[in-house]
A and B are shown apart, each in its own frame.
Chain A
Amino acid sequence: MNAPQLPANLKANPRLDRWVRFNADRTVTVFSGKVELGQGIGTAMAQIAAEELDVLLDRVALVAGDTASGPNEGFTAGSQSIEQGGTAMRAACAEVRTLFVEAAARRLEVSASELAVRDGMIEVPGTDFRTSYWDLAAEVSLAREATGEAAPKPAARYSIIGKNVPRRDLPAKFTGAAYVHDMELPGMVHARVLRPPTYSARLVAFDANAVRALPGVVSVVRNGNFVGVCAEREEQAVKALEAARGAARWDDQPGLPEPVEIRELLPRLPTATKTVFTKGVAGAAAAKRLEATYSRPYLAHASIGPSCAAAVFEGGKLTVWSHAQGSFPLRGQIARVLGLRDDDVTVIHRDGAGCYGHNGADDAALDAALLARACGRPVLLQWTREDELAWAPFGSAMVVKLAAGLDAEGKVVDWRHELWSHSHVRRPSAGDGVNLLAAWHLDPPFAASTPRDAPYPPGTGDRNSVPLYDFPVQEILYHFVAEMPLRVSALRSLGAYANVFAIESFMDELALATGADPVAFRLKHLADPRAKAVIEAAARAADWKPGNASDGVHGRGIAFARYKNSSAYCAIVAEVEVAEKIWLRRAVAAVDAGGVINPDGLQNQIEGGIVQAASWTLKEAVRWDASRVLTRSWEDYPILKFDETPAIEVVVLDQPGAPGLGAGECAAGPTAAAIANALHRALGVRARDLPLTPERVAAAMP
């Protein structure tokens, strides 16, 4: 006898009352560990719950990321919220619905199969035999574990899933208070933290009294290299921060490597090499061999709203409100730093500005906790723009070296992919140490976790390093660069951005080397019908024609990937125009994300993914000198502006009833390569080092 399989997140949080609660006012509260990061998951999760419970969407309230009440689903990351969190929510709600229908059958003395649920009313249709979730709530205890025996609703009966339900959080956001930044706690002070000028600087002298004397200053906290200020008014906290900067003397040794090209820097650092994947045995004679090396720089999250957190420390118990991706992992790390038990710390999610991975949110939460405890009043802690750009973790720079052999028919006979990367997972809770900024600055400091990367698949630096193409011989090597001159962690799509950029640029190079059309060349090497379908759909929607000649100004390119080789499929055709700089004028995407919960939400994620990746690809790079990060304001770190907006079309190949495939990150890699391929078509220049700024493209000219 096999027990029914529970979805992983339900298995980890089997108590049904961790997921669903019926309220006296005839509403339902559902609980999720997957939090709103701007991706619309709050709306999608409510759709799933309303669908499975058969209640109107308006009756469903969602509580997400609350360690006091909801399920622990780890981080909201990796495009897993629909795939894993949604699947668990669906199973939990289906089971709750079944329990109530069975209870209704007993009360009404009918068989469960005669009953239907309509907006929470459980009834024998066409009769007045009816009860409801709320009428039965007292007798159906959800303080029990899920069994997995209830079957979720078949897709054919969906009436809420698959619909363009408008985002439920937007009306508040467009009209007033909505974010953690907007919280007001009674007796609250405004707080700022003084960060060291460089990663390695030590605070050797600090005149706290000079800062305490300023108007409105409530508390000046110094612990080792950590300095925080709390003031009655926000502008007083800002002035206190500037005064603290002047009152601090740092011992500052240059500690960063010479800022050389990434393709030179990473292979120069110590590495540990592992084989990610091998297939077949090399030996077939190749008619032609190609080799090329690609790179991407360190990239900043660069959210518009700097990180923020609120905290209250009272009676030995701490409550923190944070826009972090994982309330539970953050709770554990904060408890450790403050010497508290996990149970004495509550972390509650509040929305923040856009989150594209592990940014400063967790760090700000610890800052707020430390200052709330030190100053004895509730704290609203706000990071500065400069710290957000200079101190939040970056997405790791990477180098990818590709080599392939082609036979006389223009087919790839062997393929080799070598990559160099730092870790992409330095999140709080990953590993043996504490991965929170302030913890490293305290006296005594907490050690950061030992740098490592999670295994493939789905991998991190090596994410999407294994091509989806059916090359008979493959060797994929990962040179892991444990040393991290700059602070790095997870940024949207992790290593997939660089690996797909490299693979799909190289596919273009191989196609052109054999005189093949890039679309046909890809299709020739693919067996997966869904992969072929998105490439064909993108090419069709873009009116792709083989052999488009270049006029020296315009060009179009195509690229494709299946994110993680297991999530959404995405193909993109980019059209560029080369003038004083490279303009992405149009992008046409085709996406297969399996069964879609909210088509407009998916569309929005793809559009945003394309624009953000276009910004990375055309404009962005973190710069540094011997001692410090230099990109510290929007003037140093420009991102795509409104006059640079491309036209975007997204074709969704919906698969109703099929499992959802995470789509939030699938556009990043294909966008980069499609732009680079279009640039090559326009100018005849193969630019392999990102970003594709005019200076760098000029440097790539033969």
Chain B
Amino acid sequence: MTERVTLRVNGHARDVAAEPNTPLVYVLRNDLKLKGTRLGCGAGHCGACTVLVDGNAVQSCDTPLWSASGREITTIEGLGSAERPHPLQQAFLGEQAAQCGYCINGIIMSAAALLKRTPRPTDAQIAAALDRNLCRCGTHVRILRAIRRAAEAGS
């Protein structure tokens, strides 16, 4: 049954009406038009849909709407915009760290959670933070460099 749920997304209260078990990714993309969160596998394996929930990187395809209620959700749009990019978005642009770019926003969200916790991560910590993100174009080297760059810029 459809229920009204109030979410806190990117600092704003947003009311949505959907079945409580609806995966958060569909609500973000279709109800709230936050399309920067990508749908990948729908099974929590690829990380394209990663968002922050209370500061933790979670797969929004694997997060039912009911469980997100009352928590602070941050999407890529909440980090920054093309005009005012977040330091991570800036670093990814600076390194041209993308080919198709489809996986990148999920990776940026995983990195944002990491840098909040660990502002100067080691390479191993960065790789571990991306354990649930996949990239198929093979942009790995640039992605890792961009995250290191953002960490250096932020400290």
Listed in ascending order, the chain A residues whose CB lies under 8 Å from chain B are: 37-40, 166-167, 169-179, 181-182, 184, 190, 215, 233-235, 238, 302-306, 351-356, 382, 384-385, 600, 604-605, 607-612, 614-615, 633-635, 639-643, 645-648
Report B-chain residues with C-beta under 8 Å of the C-beta of A235: 18-19, 22-23, 26
Complexed CA–CA distance, A190 and B23 (Å): 15
Report A-chain residues with C-beta under 8 Å of the C-beta of B33: 177, 184
CB of A612 within 8 A of CB of B136, answer: yes
B58 within 8 A of partner (CB) = no
CB of B141 within 8 A of CB of A648, answer: yes
**CB within 8 Å for A176 and B36 given contacts A40-B99, A600-B96:** yes
Q: Is the interface of A mostly helix, strand, loop or mixed?
A: loop
Of A600, A608, A643, the most chain B CB neighbours within 10 A belong to A608
CB of A353 within 8 A of CB of B134, answer: no
A sample of 20 cross-chain residue pairs with beta-carbon separation below 8 angstroms, ordered by A number, consists of A173-B101, A175-B76, A175-B77, A175-B80, A175-B85, A176-B36, A233-B26, A304-B100, A304-B103, A304-B134, A305-B39, A305-B100, A306-B41, A353-B103, A353-B136, A382-B39, A611-B140, A612-B136, A643-B124, A645-B144
Interface string of B106-117 (1 = CB under 8 A from A): 001000000000
B105 within 8 A of partner (CB) = yes
B40 to chain A, nearest CB (A): 5
CB of A167 within 8 A of CB of B96, answer: yes
Report A-chain residues with C-beta under 8 Å of the C-beta of B18: 233, 235
CB of B40 within 8 A of CB of A385, answer: yes
Complexed CA–CA distance, A500 and B102 (Å): 30
B13 within 8 A of partner (CB) = no
CB of A171 within 8 A of CB of B93, answer: yes
Complexed CA–CA distance, A175 and B98 (Å): 13
Complexed CA–CA distance, A607 and B138 (Å): 7
CB of B99 within 8 A of CB of A608, answer: yes
CB of B127 within 8 A of CB of A643, answer: yes
Complexed CA–CA distance, A609 and B141 (Å): 12
CB of B102 within 8 A of CB of A645, answer: no
Report A-chain residues with C-beta under 8 Å of the C-beta of B89: 174-175
Complexed CA–CA distance, A600 and B36 (Å): 25
Contact partner, B131, options A170, A605, A643, A646, Cβ 8 Å: A643
CB of B140 within 8 A of CB of A642, answer: yes
**CB within 8 Å for A38 and B82 given contacts A175-B76, A608-B139, A642-B133:** no
Complexed CA–CA distance, A121 and B139 (Å): 40
Interface string of B1-40 (1 = CB under 8 A from A): 0100000000000000011001100100110011110111
**CB within 8 Å for A634 and B46 given contacts A170-B93, A181-B39, A642-B127:** yes
Report A-chain residues with C-beta under 8 Å of the C-beta of B141: 607, 611, 645-648
Complexed CA–CA distance, A635 and B41 (Å): 11
Complexed CA–CA distance, A339 and B91 (Å): 50
Please name the residue on chain A nearest to B100 by beta carbon: A38
Q: Is the interface of B mostly helix, strand, loop or mixed?
A: loop
Contact partner, A305, options B29, B77, B102, Cβ 8 Å: B102
CB of B93 within 8 A of CB of A633, answer: no
B104 within 8 A of partner (CB) = yes
Report B-chain residues with C-beta under 8 Å of the C-beta of A385: 40-43, 45-46
CB of A181 within 8 A of CB of B38, answer: yes
B48 within 8 A of partner (CB) = yes
**CB within 8 Å for A170 and B43 given contacts A175-B82, A643-B128:** no
CB of A234 within 8 A of CB of B26, answer: yes
Complexed CA–CA distance, A371 and B26 (Å): 21
Report A-chain residues with C-beta under 8 Å of the C-beta of B100: 37-38, 303-305, 351-355
Complexed CA–CA distance, A612 and B80 (Å): 30
CB of A633 within 8 A of CB of B45, answer: yes
* Residues in B53-86 with C-beta less than 8 Å from chain A: 76-77, 80-82, 85
Identify 6 new A-B residue pairs, CB closer than 8 A, beyond the known A235-B19, A352-B102.
Answer: A175-B85, A176-B34, A304-B102, A305-B102, A634-B46, A641-B131
Contact partner, A304, options B40, B81, B142, Cβ 8 Å: B40
Report A-chain residues with C-beta under 8 Å of the C-beta of B43: 385, 633-634
Q: List 9 A-B pairs, minimum CB-CB distance, nearest first.
A: A38-B100, A611-B138, A354-B100, A608-B138, A353-B102, A177-B35, A173-B101, A182-B35, A643-B127
CB of A612 within 8 A of CB of B128, answer: no
Report B-chain residues with C-beta under 8 Å of the C-beta of A354: 99-100, 102, 136-137
Please name the residue on chain A nearest to B45 by beta carbon: A634
Complexed CA–CA distance, A233 and B18 (Å): 9
B130 within 8 A of partner (CB) = yes
B67 to chain A, nearest CB (A): 15
Report B-chain residues with C-beta under 8 Å of the C-beta of A612: 136-138
Of B40, B41, B134, B140, the most chain A CB neighbours within 10 A belong to B140
Complexed CA–CA distance, A352 and B35 (Å): 13
Report B-chain residues with C-beta under 8 Å of the C-beta of A190: 30
Complexed CA–CA distance, A234 and B24 (Å): 11
CB of B102 within 8 A of CB of A303, answer: yes
Complexed CA–CA distance, A483 and B121 (Å): 52
B64 to chain A, nearest CB (A): 10
CB of B38 within 8 A of CB of A305, answer: yes
**CB within 8 Å for A166 and B93 given contacts A171-B82, A174-B76, A176-B36:** yes
Report B-chain residues with C-beta under 8 Å of the C-beta of A38: 98-102, 137
Please name the residue on chain A nearest to B130 by beta carbon: A642
